[in-house]
Amino acid sequence: MFQHQWRRRRRRGKVGRPPKPVAVTSTNLPEKFEPAPKKSGEPIILEPAEIEALKLVELNKLTFEEAAEKMGVSRNTVWRLAEKAREKLTRAIIEGRELLIQQE
């Protein structure tokens, strides 16, 4: 019978690699959006890379591959950024929380 021998894996050096820079073309973004009436809860923070991914995919109707090329990252990174932005926007609308846009 086939038996596995498990070995523990150990990290060596620093944890993870530094994040890859993302090309962002959106400028002059508003600082925040406030719901009326404002409900309690911590504000939700949108990052410029998330806004850029959402803009390219939803407004410019680019595929994830095309958006990734423009942003200089992988297709999966664009998908993850757009998905996080959608979730944050939905949460801000449904929960009535303030939406802050992180400035570079």
Domain ranges of the chain: 32-101
Phi and psi dihedrals of 4, rounded to 5? -95, 145
pLDDT at position 4 is 45
Q: Which two tokens stand for residue 29?
A: 């973004």
In angstroms, the CA 86 to CA 80 distance is 10
Please tell me the predicted confidence (pLDDT) of residue 20.
73
Global pTM reads 0.77
- Domain 32-101: assigned CATH number: 1.10.10
Contact 68, 74 (CB under 8 A): yes
3-state secondary structure of 54: helix
Residue 68 has pLDDT above 70, yes or no: yes
User: Each residue of 14-54: pLDDT tens digit?
Assistant: 677 777 778 788 777 888 989 888 888 899 999 989 999 99
The pLDDT-based confidence of 12 (bands split at 50, 70, 90) is: low
